[in-house]
Amino acid sequence: MATRDPRRFLAYLEAERNAALLYRALAEHVRGDRREAMLELATIEEEHAEHWVAKLQEAGVAIPPAPTTLDPTDAALVARARGAGFADVLTQLEEAEGAGAGMYDDEPDAPTSMADDEREHRAVFQKMRLEEQAAPATSAALAPVAPRSPIGAEHWHRTDKSGSMRAAVFGVSDGLVSNTALVMGFAGAAPSNATILFAGIAGLLAGAFSMAAGEYVSVASQRDLFRREIEMEAAELREKPLEEQKELELIYRAKGLDRESAAAVAKQIMSNPKTALDTLAREELGLDPDELGSPVKAALASFIAFAIGASVVVIPYLFFLGTDASTIVPTVLAISVALIAMVIVGAFVGRMSGRGMVFSALRQVAWGAGAALVTFVIGRIVGIQVG
């Protein structure tokens, strides 16, 4: 087996030295804990560089002098940070660290901790960027684990851990609008009340089963994906606990905690494996392990909700099944109850979302009535042509 060329270490050395120089230059344009974070990143990169210096010395390869000025690309980045602000370069820093995160994965002469450090650096810049995009951090945002008890929680916080509330709201609205449009299409063609009723019931059942199946597959797939990510994080926690603790420390420093507080919080969290996994899932992956959703509950809620919404326009025809009964009266009743139901559903959605009850009600009626009118006209045209 041929020996790998040790001159490859020169590229690693250059990258680490340039990164350290860049971070120290950027540290001059930030203050407080972010300045400390940048200086710590620079120190880590310098430690990496020292590792490659030692490897080059062992191989007898001449070591080039350390750079004293930034390369043009990094110099432009620092100038941008100085003019537009540090936040303006976070995305570029995150992308750069992401591009180099795996450069040591297949390098046998790089310790595992070095590859882990590079990934942690990307996580630090990612957290900084997300913090800039979000509202200003508060002390509550720095809590390592969200409170589990609802006692004392604000009444305006609404949670839906199973996904059933979302499925129910969409199910009622979809069932109401789609089946009203379907029934009005048949009513426009002027068939018998029995035909319209049969069409409405068929639409109710088909739509309810379709909604339930789609909701089940959607939530189940999402849950499987989230579980896999959490399992991968649990494996990293078992195999590299010190690296994960360091990552947590850097994340909390990026949130604004000072060095000592971030280290203390990270150490306390890592003392309990269950708490550590929960926190890493929330802080690193952005997931809440308690809110992965229940596919069965979501599917059931979707089925029932769609059936309720779809039945509104069907019920009036149940009382007019006589062979000589006109379709005009039940159709007028169906339109009336459907419009009332649309107002109620729209207002409820508006209250839940905070968008405004009147606006949401009018929007629901506009879309629902518009769809029903179009299908009624089409049904009328088809009925005349066929008749």
pLDDT in tens, 52-75: 999 899 989 899 998 888 888 888
Q: CB-based burial of residue 231 (10 Å sphere; 0-12 exposed, 13-18 middle, 19+ buried)?
A: exposed
Average pLDDT, the chain: 80
Minimum mean pLDDT among 103-117, 159-173, 268-282, 314-328: which range?
A: 159-173
Dist. CA 381–CA 376, nearest whole Å: 9
Name the nearest CA neighbour of 13 among 60, 45, 58, 59.
45
Q: Which residue has the tokens 């990934």?
A: 119
Residue 327 pLDDT greater than 50, yes or no: yes
Residue percentage of the chain with pLDDT more than 90: 17
- Residue 211's Cβ-side half-sphere holds a number of Cα atoms within 13 Å equal to 32
pLDDT interval class at 141 (50, 70, 90): very low
Residue 286 pLDDT greater than 70, yes or no: no
Phi and psi (nearest 5°) for 57? -65, -40
| pLDDT score of 224 | 83
Q: Are 22 and 70 spatial neighbours (Cβ–Cβ below 8 Å)?
A: yes
Show the tokens assigned to 380. Answer: 């009328």
Q: Which residue has the tokens 């809440």?
A: 288
Residue 284 pLDDT greater than 70, yes or no: no
Residue percentage of the chain with pLDDT more than 70: 84
pTM of the model: 0.51
Dist. CA 15–CA 124, nearest whole Å: 19
| pLDDT score of 145 | 37
Q: Which residue has the higher pLDDT, 31 or 138?
A: 31
Dist. CA 179–CA 165, nearest whole Å: 21
Compute the average pLDDT of residues 249-276: 80
| pLDDT score of 2 | 46
Dist. CA 80–CA 86, nearest whole Å: 8
Minimum mean pLDDT among 110-119, 281-290, 299-308: which range?
A: 281-290
DSSP H helices, 67-142, are 72-84, 90-99, 112-133
88-102, 174-188, 309-323: range with highest mean pLDDT: 174-188
| Measured CA distances, 74 to 9, 89, 90, 129 (Å) | 21, 11, 13, 19
Dist. CA 364–CA 369, nearest whole Å: 8
Q: Which residue has the tokens 């007028």?
A: 332
Dist. CA 139–CA 261, nearest whole Å: 13
**Continuous segment of H or E residues that includes residue 343:** helix 328-353
Dist. CA 123–CA 37, nearest whole Å: 12
Minimum mean pLDDT among 39-53, 82-96, 359-373: which range?
A: 82-96
Question: All domains of the chain, ordered by start, with CATH?
Answer: 6-133 (1.20.1260), 164-223+293-386 (no CATH), 225-291 (no CATH)
Q: What is the pLDDT of residues 70-106, one digit of tens each?
A: 888 888 888 888 877 888 888 888 888 777 767 887 7
Residue 184 pLDDT greater than 60, yes or no: yes
Compute the average pLDDT of residues 233-242: 81
**Continuous segment of H or E residues that includes residue 210:** helix 193-239
Minimum mean pLDDT among 83-87, 124-128, 142-146, 160-164: which range?
A: 142-146
Dist. CA 321–CA 214, nearest whole Å: 34
Q: Which residue has the tokens 């949401």?
A: 360
Dist. CA 327–CA 349, nearest whole Å: 32
Q: Which residue has the higher pLDDT, 251 or 68?
A: 68
| pLDDT score of 116 | 79
